[in-house]
Amino acid sequence: MNTNKKIRPKIFTPGVLVIGIVFVTLFMMELFFKTWCGVQCIRTGYDVTSAKKQQQDLKHMQKYLTIELVHLKSPEMLAKIVEEQFEQLTIPEPEQVITIP
């Protein structure tokens, strides 16, 4: 019989293998979590940018509507609207005015 065979210790015992699988699984879970957090951060950035754009658009709309309101309340515009919508009405003559005491 040849006794020159060297006996090597087993490196991958069942306990070491289980611990290795647990570490690899935890590492993979950490990578997935970090990736998910990064994606959520980017989505939040896009949402903030979109909200700022919408706020800016609404401010421009408010400014435009304020100018439009001032224009519509002007005496010249009111007189024009009255002439167009109530053209059959005229200013009363002095004898048509009745003063109530």
Which pLDDT does position 9 carry in this prediction? 65
Domains of the chain: total: 1
Does the residue 34 lie in any domain? Answer: yes
CA distance 48 to 57: 14
Mean pLDDT, contiguous 10-residue spans, the chain (101 residues): 63 82 96 98 97 98 96 88 82 87 81
Question: Phi-psi bin for 25: left (phi > 0), alpha (psi -120 to 50), beta?
Answer: alpha
pLDDT for res 2: 56
| Residue 72 domain flag | yes
Domain assignment present for residue 81? The answer is yes
Q: Quick one: pLDDT at residue 13? A: 77
pLDDT for position 84: 86
Domain coverage including residue 53: 14-87
- DSSP character string of 51-88: HHHHHHHHHHHHHHHHHHHHHHHSHHHHHHHHHHH-TT
